Structure 1
Amino acid sequence: MISKFIYTKILGWKLVGDFPRDLKKYIVIGAPHTSWKDFPIAVLARNSWNVKINFIGKKSLFKPPFGFIFRALGGAPVDRSKSNNKVDAIVDVFNKHDEFRLALSPEGTRKKVTEWKTGFYYIAKGANVPIVMFTFDFENKQVKLSEPYYTTDDMKKDFNHFYDFYRGIKGAKPELFHVPDKA
């Protein structure tokens, strides 16, 4: 497979773990999301594992001349200017499909944030799907995957689990990544 050759042999990255093959629906949270480089790294990794993962992106990415590329890669546009309930809309997407795996950034941006967004968490709870954690570890040139994690009724416990997984991971721009000490 060409993606795996590029990813491992040319770029020198490693794949650690695997996507759950027996699950048809889950959320993938990818962090640290600090650079435009994260997207091509994620696409190459996804293709290397040969698994279909969808993503959402700002509406402007899907306009000509390159919008068709993002759609072909599994993307769907989201209009961030509207104040509609995106969590419920995405839960509906999960409920309407037999197979749907959605990648999101818990930070919600490439800029430094002190608190992670919670949308991915509420989507997972609403759709009753697990969360798989995915790292962009530029220091060790590896993408690492977690086992599926099913949310509990204790949001703080769940977020502390996520934070612990990403602690010590260095993104493309390490100064832009912050893992809170505790939820």
Structure 2
Amino acid sequence: MSGNYLPRNLLAESLGHAALKLMGWRIEGTLPKLDRYIAIGAHHTSNWDFVIFIAFKFVLRLNARWFGKHTIFRPPFGALMRAWGGIPIRRDRQVNTVEQAIQAFAEHRQFVLVLSPEGTRKKVERWKMGFYHIAMGANVPLVLAALDYQNKRVFIGPTFWPTGDEAADLKTIFEFYRPFVPKKPEYAFYGD
């Protein structure tokens, strides 16, 4: 078992279970027993995706980190977002987030980073490739996880090791996500 799991917190676990049950969601699949990886959470088309992710994180006791726009880290919720694993990102500054993430993997024996390649809840014409460059630079795999609104499930898929052939790897990744229906399907990008 990897060390990427938090100690039991009955309140957080109960809140996570209650939220998923109230919304009618379930978790399918199993996280890998690895110390370091990037979990791709896609497709990110709604604020509800975050609620489901936090409930999922609580239920599994996953010690995962995630990037969020710096504005959600302001009071009154900023401290809570950080406690839940959030790392504020300033998109208006020339900060190399990829290099910072690679360094974080280098500095920690156990590190899970959850990223949404869309980088926004709006319609996009392509995925941001930071997740891929971080995985290649840190030599860590990607865990493909999908939000399937049609079947109300978080589906934990395969562990995927990037090969360096970006086009071929993206084709494989998009094929995995194609069957899953996001909250707003018109915003989803499938590489087409």
TM-score (norm 1): 0.93
Q: Which residue of 2 aligns with 1:130?
A: 141
Q: Secondary structure at the match of 1:161?
A: helix
Question: For 1:74 and 1:123, how far apart are their aligned partners in 2?
Answer: 18
Q: Deviations over 1:128-167 (max 9, x none)?
A: 0000111111111000011211110211111011101110
Question: For 2:186 and 2:164, how far apart are their aligned partners in 1?
Answer: 33
In structure 1, runs of 5+ residues without a counterpart are none
The ranges of structure 1 where at least 4 consecutive aligned residues each deviate by more than 6 angstroms after the TM superposition are: none
Q: Secondary structure at the match of 1:42?
A: helix
Equivalent pair of 1:3/1:45 in contact (CA under 8 Å)? no
Letter in 1 for 2:46: S
For the pair 1:56 / 2:67, whether they are aligned, the reply is yes
Equivalent residue for 1:74, pick from 51, 73, 85: 85
C-alpha RMSD over aligned residues = 1.3
For the pair 1:92 / 2:103, whether they are aligned, the reply is yes
Question: For 1:71 and 1:84, how far apart are their aligned partners in 2?
Answer: 19
Counterparts of 1:27-42 in structure 2, within 5 Å, are 27-42=38-53
TM-score (norm 2): 0.89
Question: For 1:109 and 1:165, how far apart are their aligned partners in 2?
Answer: 20
Equivalent pair of 1:132/1:145 in contact (CA under 8 Å)? yes
Equivalent pair of 1:107/1:117 in contact (CA under 8 Å)? yes
Q: Which residue of 1 aligns with 2:18?
A: 6
Bigger drift between 92-101 and 44-53 goes to 44-53
- Residue 179 of structure 1 and its aligned partner are, at CA, apart by 0.7
Question: For 1:147 and 1:3, how far apart are their aligned partners in 2?
Answer: 27
- Residue 48 of structure 1 and its aligned partner are, at CA, apart by 1.5
- Residue 3 of structure 1 and its aligned partner are, at CA, apart by 3.8
Q: Secondary structure at the match of 2:160?
A: coil
Q: Secondary structure at the match of 1:144?
A: strand
